């Protein structure tokens, strides 16, 4: 087992693409409230907690709601989202993710999940990856959402490593900020301009090679 480094993966947008399902569920809510919610708006919700997402959505529509009504809508949105999740299977694992997990296994590098989603365990089970992770830190385990580093710091504890020994794969600005604040090596996956604060960047996990990981091990040692 290589105990010099460990990896923390974000889930949505790195391992699977659930943003499209979040979009459909949030859009239905916006439709019901009578305002337009576009795919561009949806970008603002990436990496953001469910509660904060609703606040952003309501500010887009300039709608004010009571706490009680907000709770009702949160439950309703999640119910609808879960209908999509329950239909997911391994074909929805993003390109390169499985290969990267295999590479890490071959190198003896442990990995955990660090996600804002309260549905993370269910999603991992749906796509058949639940048992691959050494630990799961999700939206139920944290009191502070990304960009706060809490989720990744708990991940480091699960890996029994110092933050500087951890590598984070993230697709959202809030997640890169969280990793950087935690003093971890941040790797942005997706749009380069959006993820400019990441230490390294890849358009997709298909570009991450075993050699790159080996170089990181050397760098941390
Ligand atoms: C993050 C997604 O992983 O999880 C966000 O990027 C989402 O878009 C957040 O709002 C919370 O997810 P859930 O499943 O708890 O509603
Ligand atoms: Mg994400």
The answer on pLDDT for 52 being more than 80 is yes
Task: Return d(Cα 33, Cα 26) in angstroms, integer.
Answer: 11
Over residues 8-22, the pLDDT tens digits come to 999 999 999 999 999
Question: Of ligand 1's atoms, which has the minimum distance to the CA of residue 45?
Answer: 8
pLDDT band, residue 221 (cuts 50/70/90): confident
Q: What's the confidence (pLDDT) of residue 2?
A: 64
Question: Of ligand 1's atoms, which has the minimum distance to the CA of residue 11?
Answer: 3
Computed over its alpha carbons, how large is the radius of gyration of the chain? 17
pLDDT band, residue 1 (cuts 50/70/90): low
Place of tokens 């859009």: 27
For the segment 53-71, the average pLDDT, to the nearest whole number, is 97
Task: Determine the residue of 8, 12, 42, 168 to mutate for testing ligand 1's pocket, defined as the one with the most ligand atoms within 8 A of the Cβ atom.
Answer: 12
Q: Give 99 Cα–ligand 1 centroid separation in angstroms.
A: 24
Q: What residues line ligand 1, using a CB cutoff of 6 Å?
A: 11-12, 22, 45-50, 53, 78, 115-119, 139, 172
Question: Of ligand 1's atoms, which has the minimum distance to the CA of residue 47?
Answer: 6
**24-31: which pairs have CB atoms within 8 A and are 24 or more residues apart?**
24/80, 24/84, 25/77, 25/78, 25/80, 25/81, 25/84, 26/53, 26/57, 26/77, 28/77, 28/80, 29/57, 29/73, 29/76, 29/77, 30/57, 30/60, 30/61
């Amino acid at each position: 087992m290589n105990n010099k480094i460990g990896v923390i993966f974000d889930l949505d947008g790195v391992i699977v693409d659930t943003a499209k399902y979040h979009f459909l569920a949030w859009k239905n809510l916006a439709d019901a409230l009578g305002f337009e919610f576009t795919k561009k708006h949806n970008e603002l919700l990436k990496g953001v907690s469910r509660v904060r997402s609703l606040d952003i959505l309501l500010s887009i529509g300039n709608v004010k709601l009571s706490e009680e009504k907000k709770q009702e809508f949160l439950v309703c949105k999640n119910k609808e989202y879960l209908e999509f999740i329950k239909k997911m299977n391994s074909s929805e694992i993003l390109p390169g993710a499985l290969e990267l997990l295999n590479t890490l296994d071959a190198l003896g590098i442990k990995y955990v999940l660090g996600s804002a989603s309260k549905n993370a365990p269910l999603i991992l089970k749906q796509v058949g990856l639940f048992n691959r992770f050494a630990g799961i830190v999700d939206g139920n385990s944290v009191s502070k959402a990304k960009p706060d580093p809490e989720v990744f710091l708990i991940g480091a504890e699960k890996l029994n490593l110092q933050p500087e020994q951890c590598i984070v794969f993230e697709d959202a600005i809030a997640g890169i900020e969280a990793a950087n604040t935690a003093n971890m090596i941040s790797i942005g996956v997706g749009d380069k301009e959006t993820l400019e604060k990441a230490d390294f960047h890849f358009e997709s996990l298909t570009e991450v090679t075993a050699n790159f990981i080996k170089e990181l091990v050397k760098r941390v040692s």
